[in-house]
Amino acid sequence: MKNSICTVEQLKGFIDLSATEEKKLRQIVKNHPMRVTPYYMSLIDWDNPDDPIRKMAIPSIEEFNQQGDYDTSGEAENTKMSGLQYKYQETALILATNKCAMYCRHCFRKRLVGLQTKEILERFEDAADYIKQHEHINNVLVTGGDPLVLENEVIEKLLLILSEIPQIKFIRFGSRAPVTFPSRFNDEELLRILSKYSHPDRRIYVVTQFNHPKEITKQSIHAVDNLIKSGIIVNNQTVLLKSVNDNATTLVNLLNRLVSIGANPYYVFQCRPVKSVKNNFQVPLCRGIDIIEKAKAHCNGHSKRFRYIMSHRTGKIEVLGVFDDEIYFKYHQAKNRKRLGKIFKHPVDETAGWLDDFESTSMQMLDAVPYPL
């Protein structure tokens, strides 16, 4: 990580920048830091200005566009103490760090990654006390930033504290390190720690984020394999990103390859309308549905087990599809539990990229479809 590319000066070794571009990029990097590992830099095709890997890693002047918000999922309103969020009955979320191996340009926590922040958990013990007082919590998502770039001792301390809470049935780490910094998983000490705390009856999951088939390399396959061999279950959350993976061919290649390497497709996320991100990366929902349905037509059962999800302030909303000029959604997770499983619809709006883009008066709730039908 010490050898990462973090400054515009370093970037000039790879691309030509005019004086104006250089000045603008310096401003962008000041607001939202750049960090790209030498490994991830090596995946970029510098002859292609539209290279998808480059788009996810290298700052662009598009980031001056400030449409959107910095907290699109209501994280502030679910924060119970610095670094601990509680939104869904069964899950506690810990922000363990603001650091990552790479600062992805599409990150939805752009407000804090690589920046001074008070949003990070200070004492794991405080989070453990909160969890113990909330008996419905049965799993913890440790995220950030990227918790698997923390020092091994810190990861072990966290696992020790969480594993002493009997109600916790599984622990998830959200980490893009297998994709951006796969050599992290050559560290035998880290693998030993993860293996030690991943028990047959209380597994550790790593939820990673492969977004493009070019990210599936000999090194990242090896990282996933080392995790699996250590008793870790690996799932994948892809973000649907404009000019990165917003076509069925790329998506189907990615999803099928993910199943091959044992990183199970879990969600495809609608890109959130985050400042400096929305304009550059978000695909309208109708287009997203079209891409995903076309991709699914070429997926096997395993590679299409994922759900297309909008992680909204009110809950995780599955984007079901379009029928008769209406777009249908379903509450997969809901902050207000009365909404769980509820289906609703809005008239099609070709430009809408987020629930709030529809007229709220056009929303029509339907009764949840009973199961079995």
Question: Could you tell me the smallest distance in angstroms from the CB atom of residue 109 to ligand SF4?
Answer: 5
The residue type of 239 is V
Dihedral pair phi/psi, residue 323, rounded to 5°:
-145, 130
Per CB under 6 A, does 107 bind ligand SF4?
A: yes
Q: Coil, helix or strand for 253?
A: helix
* Residue ranges with strand state E in the chain: 79-81, 84-86, 91-95, 139-143, 170-174, 204-208, 233-240, 264-270, 307-312, 315-323, 326-334, 343-347, 364-366
Among 52, 59, 83, 145, contact with ligand SF4 (rule: CB under 6 A): 145
263 binds ligand SF4 (CB under 6 A): no
Smallest gap from Cβ 242 to ligand SF4, in A, equals 16
Q: What are residue 322's DSSP bridge partners?
A: 327
- Beta carbon nearer to ligand SF4, 272 or 335: 272
Asked if residue 346 binds ligand SF4 (CB under 6 A), the reply is no
Residue 141 binding ligand SF4, by CB under 6 A:
no
Q: Write out the two tokens for 215.
A: 């990210």
Q: Interface with ligand SF4 by CB under 6 A: which range of 42-50, 104-112, 191-199, 354-362?
A: 104-112
Q: Is there binding between residue 176 and ligand SF4 (CB under 6 A)?
A: yes
Q: How far apart are the C-alpha atoms of 227 and 232, rounded to whole Å?
A: 5
Q: By CB under 6 A, is residue 104 in contact with ligand SF4?
A: yes
Candidates 51, 119, 146, 156; binder of ligand SF4 (CB under 6 A) is 146
Length of the chain: 373
User: Which region, judged by CB under 6 A, interacts with ligand SF4, from 23-31, 144-152, 246-254, 321-329?
Assistant: 144-152
Taking each helix axis from N to C terminus, what angle separates 218-229 and 248-261, rounded to the nearest 10 degrees? Answer: 40
| Position 100 contacts ligand SF4 (CB under 6 A) | yes
Q: Are 267 and 306 in contact (CB under 8 A)?
A: yes
CB of 104 to ligand SF4, least distance (A): 3
Candidates 55, 109, 111, 335; binder of ligand SF4 (CB under 6 A) is 109
**Number of other CB atoms surrounding residue 300 within 10 Å:** 10
Residue from 103, 173, 266, 269 touching ligand SF4 (CB under 6 A): that is: 103
By the criterion CB under 6 A, which residues form the site for ligand SF4? Answer: 100, 102-104, 107, 109, 113, 144-146, 176
